[in-house]
Structure 1
Amino acid sequence: MDQIRPFPPTDLIDQAEEEEAIRLAPAIDLKEWVVTNFLTVGGHLHNPDHDHIAELLHDNEEFLAFAWASSAAVAKKRMVLGQCEKVMFNQGGWKKARQEQQMRDWYGFVPQYLVTVDASFCEQATDHDFCALIEHELYHIGVERDEDGEAIYSEMTGLPKHYLAGHDVEEFYGVVRRWGASENVKRLVEIAKNPPFVSDFNVSACCGTCVIG
């Protein structure tokens, strides 16, 4: 990697422990590190699957932001270590204004997508597990594609159309056992026959986006 990975501010975790509450803070340095290593051609962790994110960020810095959470959250009895969300404020009036103000105070803008990660996990995680968590959340930012697999561009903005993506393969074991594997499952099996580029780490078990989905 081009630089030492960013670590969360220790005072964030310390203050949260004192208050016995979860605290959050903007992670400006984390975004810069992700752009340098994951989203820049030639970066040590560059993945062309995310080039559509890089393209959007090149024209719109407000597309993506990152935040630290002092500790994991709990959703559906699972510990949530990371979450990617499409920023939407459904409430009106002062509630909406307050939420937008928080984003502007943190970043100077309201991002379209926000990735939040557990600072206490990231503080002690190995480089591998940390990077796997970050990339998992990046994959939740999907790009619409045509029948040939090419990215679809907006006629209005000239930029790729994006959405909050689920997993490539979602199926019940029992359905596969009784009725066989779909084409997506078969493709996953073929990919699984090859050794992973890094190693095994089940991020989906602790991803808030996956739990909510």
Structure 2
Amino acid sequence: MDQIRPFPPQDLLDKAEEDEAIRLAPAPDLMNWVITNFLTVGGPLHNPDHDHIAELLHDNEEFVGVIKRWGADESVKRLIEVAKQAPFVSDVNISKCCGTCLIS
């Protein structure tokens, strides 16, 4: 495991004193570090209780693998039910609105 987590860009930290304010930005390598250390099976800090987070970050094939291993929780079951239904906005009307107002 990388013992030191990634840090925000140094130039933002350097400007903090000068600007008398702290500017926030994620470390450029943070996402990869979290996936490698926390979400990858066999990673140094992997915890199966966090596998549901991997559903949000990994591609479709990995998502399918997680569901095959652990099953679908209620939010995944809801996603499946919504995906089975016809869209609220038909192909003909999709250029005229985003469809958000049609969802109730």
Normalised to the residue count of structure 1, the TM-score between the two structures is: 0.28
Structure of higher RCO (CA pairs closer than 8 Å, 6+ residues apart): 1
Return the alpha-carbon distance in structure 2 between the equivalents of residues 10 and 42 of structure 1.
Answer: 31
1:157 paired residue number: 79
> Displacement, 1:16?
1.3
Q: What's the offset of the Cα at 1:151?
A: 2.8
1:2·1:44 contact (CA, 8 Å) conserved in 2?
no
Q: What's 2:64 paired with?
A: none
**Alpha-carbon distance in 2 for matches of 1:13, 1:21:** 10
Q: Percent identity?
A: 74
Q: If you compute each CA radius of gyration, which structure gives the higher value, 1 or 2?
A: 2
- Mapped to 2, the partners of 1:23 and 1:153 lie a distance apart of 35
- For residues 123-160 of structure 1, the C-alpha deviation after alignment (integer angstroms, 9 at most, x for no partner) is xxxxxxxxxxxxxxxxxxxxxxxxxxx832334534xx
1:1-80 equivalences in 2 (<5 Å): 1=1, 4-59=4-59
Q: Name the one with the larger helix percent.
A: 2
Q: Which runs of 5+ in 1 are unaligned?
A: 61-149, 159-213
Deviation, 1:20, is 0.4
SS for the counterpart of 2:7 is coil
Structure 1 runs of 4+ aligned residues shifted over 6 Å read: none
Partner amino acid, structure 1, of 2:41: V
Gap regions ≥5 residues in structure 2: 61-71, 81-104
- Note the alpha carbon deviations across 1:36-95, whole angstroms, 9 max, x for none: 1001101011011110001221148xxxxxxxxxxxxxxxxxxxxxxxxxxxxxxxxxxx
**1:1-213 maps to which residues of 2 (within 5 A)?**
1=1, 4-59=4-59, 151-158=73-80
The AA in structure 2 aligned to 1:26 is P
What TM-score do the two structures reach when normalised by structure 2?
A: 0.53
**Bigger strand fraction:** 1
